[in-house]
Structure 1
Amino acid sequence: METPIERIKLSQTAKDQLLKLRRNTKIDQWNILCRWAFCRSLAEPTIPSPVPIPQDSNVEMTWRVFGGEMSDILLLALKQRCYNDNLGTDKETLITQFRLHLHRGIGYLAGDLNIKKIEDLIELATKKI
């Protein structure tokens, strides 16, 4: 599937938050933590606040690295979320919403004091709402 998002560059704040998550969960790969964060934000019913996000860290990856084998599914989830939020699914909207969801999700995971190990991420993902 053709993706409108070619490269992802994180903010320095997000990098620092991911470093904390790496220490706690022992998940070393940025892309795996970013997938968790993106899905965490998508699970939130509200639209992310449209805040400017700097691209000032040295953490950068392609969409394929970010999504891995799930890249098509994650892109479909993003498109569906944008459609559900009445935002449209044009290239710029998808890029903007992806960055907002990714950074919001990283903030949520890093700020969750209950995430102290990988099992806590799994518990969060399988918790019934």
Structure 2
Amino acid sequence: MEPPTDRIRLSQTAKDQLTKLKRLTKIDQWNILCRWALCYSLAEPTIPSPVPIPADSNVEMTWRVFGGDLADFLLIALKQRCHNDGLATDKDTLTTQLRLHLHRGIGYLAGDSNLKKVEDLLLLGLGD
């Protein structure tokens, strides 16, 4: 499948939040935490606010690194979410929504006061 973007660059705020998450969860790879964040945001019923997000950090990864073996599934989930939200599924819209969902998810995870170790992250995935 054609990725929505070749490279994903995070904001400095997201980098700082991921650094906190790495320390709490002991998950060392940015891409794994970013996958969790994207899925967490996609599961939220509201559309992310269309705010400008700077690409002002030195954290950058290719789509292939970001998605890994799940790249096609993540793209399908993103396209479905755009469709459900009444948005187009062209490359520009997908790239914008990817950035918005990714950064929102990182913020949600970093702001969750119950997330103190990797097991808490797993419990988020299982739901209540």
Instruction: Please classify the TM superposition score into its range, dividing by the shorter chain length.
Output: over 0.9
AA in 1 matched with 2:101: H
Runs of 4+ in 1 over 2 A off after TM superposition: none
Say if 2:31 is the partner of 1:31. Answer: yes
Task: Report the alpha carbon displacement of residue 6 of structure 1 after superposing the two structures with TM.
Answer: 0.7
Q: Aligned to 1:113, what secondary structure does the other structure show?
A: coil
Say if 2:84 is the partner of 1:87. Answer: no
AA in 1 matched with 2:40: R
Task: Count the aligned residue pairs.
Answer: 128
Alignment of 1:1-129 (within 5 A): 1-128=1-128
Question: Please, which runs of 5 or more residues in structure 1 have no aligned partner?
Answer: none
AA in 1 matched with 2:8: I
How big is the alpha-carbon RMSD for the aligned residues of Structure 1 and Structure 2? 0.5
Question: Please, which runs of 5 or more residues in structure 2 have no aligned partner?
Answer: none
Return the TM-score normalized by structure 2.
0.99
> Bigger CA drift: 119-128 or 30-39?
119-128
* CA deviation map 1:45-101 (0-9, x unaligned): 000000000000000000010000000000000000000000110111000000000
* CA deviation map 1:1-40 (0-9, x unaligned): 1112110000000000000000000000000000000000
AA in 1 matched with 2:49: S
Q: Distance in 2 between matches of 1:4 and 1:81?
A: 14
Q: Distance in 2 between matches of 1:89 and 1:15?
A: 27
Return the TM-score normalized by structure 1.
0.98
Identity within the alignment, %:
77
Q: Distance in 1 between matches of 2:45 and 2:78?
A: 13
